[in-house]
Amino acid sequence: MTNSPSDTTTVIDGVTLHLARPITEIPPWIGQREVLLQLLAAWTCFSEDDVPLNPRLLGKPGVGKTTLACAAARELGLEIFIVQATTDTRPEDLLVTPVLAPDGGVRYMASPLVTAMVRGGACILDEGNRMSEKSWASLAPLLDHRRSVDSIVAGVTIPAPSEFRFVTTMNEDASTYELPEYIHSRLMPQIFIDFPEEDEERAIIRAQVGGVDDNVLEYVLGFLQAAHLADLRYSVRDGLNIARYAMKLLHRKEAADARDAVDTALKLSLGTDAEMFLSES
């Protein structure tokens, strides 16, 4: 089973699989080099018999878990494929899905995860603890020494080459499933991602909100730092959205100044409860 970067299909045991496309638009990972090195270490093989680990990235929503995983894959020169897990994710959604072909036959569509396996890329299973045990069970052989999955739909076993890497992200909130122990033990190590430092958040917002006004930036950073001290969920992702909206308000001259723009953006993006943290900052 060999594939070139331009391949859109692959054949396994006589079954043609149509492959997914990799992710190409990836924001930069700024700061927190230590957690990047921890992830890269988990993916390292120290001998010919060794296999990479399947780490999980833990943290509050918006702290950059997916961006971190993308940065690690990019550093290794791997194509990146992302699967968004939900409570409705089924085993076939993770592996191979049959669809009706234009000629009236059946076409087998490989998921991003299976495509990453076939192409020797990196798969990021986003928010994995929203997924049921039944779906996790379909991945059990992939996450141990077998490194393969069995598609009942297509009737094939799909192996993962040595280049394939897997990681899952998990949010810290109540709307998730408890992982079964046999899956829990396959998802090691656990790497915790905390909120970035203030100078890192400044660099992230400058990098992703081109031309951001200095005063808007400082007001947003003050809000984020006050929210972090109160141990609230607001993250740099919220800061990016607030900064973008504030800049749009200023550009349309619908705000008197930077403070007014950020205040309006906060209220309309996060609600009035968030305003008090702008005042505290």
Contact 82, 23 (CB under 8 A): yes
Q: Is the model's pLDDT at 37 over the cut of 90? A: yes
Rounded CA separation 73/53 (Å) = 14
Q: Is the model's pLDDT at 174 over the cut of 80? A: no
CB atoms within 10 A of CB 268: 12
Rounded CA separation 177/187 (Å) = 15
Q: H or E stretch including 106?
A: strand 106-110
What does the pLDDT read at residue 2?
A: 47
Place of tokens 């998990």: 170
- Across the chain, how many H-helices and E-strands are there? 11, 11
- pLDDT tens by residue, 210-243: 999 999 999 999 999 999 988 888 899 999 999 9
Shortest CA distance to 220 belongs to which of 248, 244, 189? 244
What does the pLDDT read at residue 101?
A: 83
The 3-state secondary structure of 3-33 reads CCCCCCEEEECCEEEECCCCECCCCCCCCCH
Note the residue count of the chain. Answer: 281
- pLDDT tens by residue, 134-143: 999 999 999 9
CATH number of 9-192: 3.40.50.300
Mean pLDDT computed over 39-54: 95
Q: 52-61, 175-184, 196-205 — which is least confidently predicted?
A: 175-184
What does the pLDDT read at residue 25?
A: 86
SS3 state at 128? helix
Average pLDDT, the chain: 91
What does the pLDDT read at residue 103?
A: 82
* pTM of the entire predicted model: 0.88
Q: What is the DSSP string of 212-237?
A: --HHHHHHHHHHHHHHHHTT-S--HH
Domain range list for the chain = 9-192, 198-280
Confidence of residue 6 (pLDDT cuts 50, 70, 90): low
DSSP class of residue 36 equals H
What does the pLDDT read at residue 270?
A: 87
- pLDDT tens by residue, 56-113: 999 988 899 999 999 999 999 999 999 999 999 999 999 999 998 888 889 999 999 9
Contacts of residue 37, defined as CB under 8 A and 6 or more positions apart, other chains included, come to none
What does the pLDDT read at residue 238?
A: 94
Contact 160, 148 (CB under 8 A): yes
Question: Which residues are registered as beta bridge partners of 159?
Answer: 148
Question: Which residues are registered as beta bridge partners of 12?
Answer: 15
